[in-house]
Structure 1
Amino acid sequence: MLGQAIWPVTLECGDLILRPVKLRDKAEWTRVRTRNAAWLEPWEASNPAGQVELPTYSGMVRVLNRQAREATALPFIITERVANQPKPVIVGQLTVSSIMWGSAMSATLGYWVDQGRAGRGIVPTAVAMATDHCFLQLGLHRMEINIRPENTASLRVVEKLGFRDEGLRPRYLHINGEWADHRSFALTSEEVPDGVLKRWLEHR
């Protein structure tokens, strides 16, 4: 089956590792998310139908793993090797979603990172790793990232990686309780024949 062919996968670059999200990550993942609640809240997706019960961690993992088996998503945890730590620590999450095969061969990418590690190049490197995997290994043609216009940190990520600005999408997604404008950025495989990661590492 196609889903079995594309997942699971682990990607590495130096001390940074993208690996599948797992049920046993619950305690550490919850600590990181709780510590970053105020930092992440303005960018969190919400339900336009009103207040609904939030999914549990295990429920989230089950949904993401099902999407991975169906070859519609790649749900990565971002981890980093840190001195004096016995194993890589969780520093964020990156999901390639809405994967379309056939004539589209496209996907959308989203992410979050621990505030304490922001600004160190973790997210651009992780995005470059995931995009290269999608282009060079899976054969996808287009990667899209949608960002709130006021999210300056994320705007810097796509600027650093050379994603093309495709314009404003008014009231595109329901974020933090309201319909919010987003700017769409994209790359196609022809624009980065040698990979996004190589270009980023050479010019960072």
Structure 2
Amino acid sequence: MFGRGKSRPRPWPVVLRDGDLTVRPIAFGDQEQWTALRAASAEWLRPWEATVPPGAHDAPASFRELVQRLHRGARLGTTLPFVLEAEGRFAGQVTVSNVVRGSAQFGSVGYWVGHEFAGRGFAPRAVALVMDHCFMTVGLHRLEVCVRPENTNSLRVVEKLDLHEVGYAPGYLHIDGDWRDHRVYAATREHFPEGVLAHLKTHLSRE
């Protein structure tokens, strides 16, 4: 229950913070930094980036169209599109997509960071912040992360988060020009009674 004069935390838009890391909604004004980071990290990202299969015609034609689509999904409650800023600099994205309500209360989490920010702990912290928001404020019960078996950096993220591997999805997503298999990781709110970020920090302190 919330006392008089106090409002419920809102699921969107929202800004999440942990020290030198900020997770906030993607904005039209991010275009220059987004474009520059992706250009600088093109070879780093290419093997893991979703691509549009031949014959499909629904890919956004511009950054502005991409943001419009993401904002539309946020208004509908099917998407939560975030960017992350590390040490005050644009560092990547975390997006919760395919949000399903009703009896499922489910969402799928995807993320990327620029090459210069990889391996510094920003990705797992950002994902943990978003997962906590989804569990505690948005009201989702289960979150899923799908990772290519060859993507050792992303696999390290889910390992640090202590997510459970629950399956294998052949031909799950079109990436780098072909349909790629993915390992499937998931967690429910019950897995992290103290919160995902708190669990992550405890895990890291023991390494």
Q: TM-score, normalised by structure 2?
A: 0.90
SS at match of 1:12: strand
SS at match of 1:6: coil
Deviations 1:171-202 (A, max 9, x none): 11111111110000000001111111001112
SS at match of 1:49: coil
1:16-95 superposed matches below 5 A = 16-50=21-55, 55-81=61-87, 88-95=88-95
Question: What residue is the counterpart of 2:3 in the other structure?
Answer: none
1:110-149 superposed matches below 5 A = 110-149=110-149
Report the Cα offset of residue 50 of structure 1.
Answer: 4.2
Deviations 1:78-125 (A, max 9, x none): 0022xxxxxx21011110111111100010000100111111100010
Deviations 1:39-95 (A, max 9, x none): 1111111222348575200000000000000011110010022xxxxxx21011110
C-alpha separation in 2, matches of 1:74 and 1:66: 10
SS at match of 1:128: helix
C-alpha separation in 1, matches of 2:101 and 2:26: 23
Which sections of structure 2, spanning at least 5 residues, go unmatched? 1-9
Number of paired residues?
A: 194
What is the identity, as a one-letter code, of the residue corresponding to 1:130? V
C-alpha separation in 2, matches of 1:141 and 1:80: 28
C-alpha separation in 2, matches of 1:200 and 1:143: 16
C-alpha separation in 2, matches of 1:200 and 1:102: 29
Deviations 1:142-172 (A, max 9, x none): 0000000000000111111111001211111
SS at match of 2:50: coil
Report the Cα offset of residue 32 of structure 1.
Answer: 0.5
**Where has structure 1 moved over 3 Å in runs of 4 or more?**
50-54
Q: TM-score, normalised by structure 1?
A: 0.91
Between the aligned residues of both structures, percent identity stands at: 47
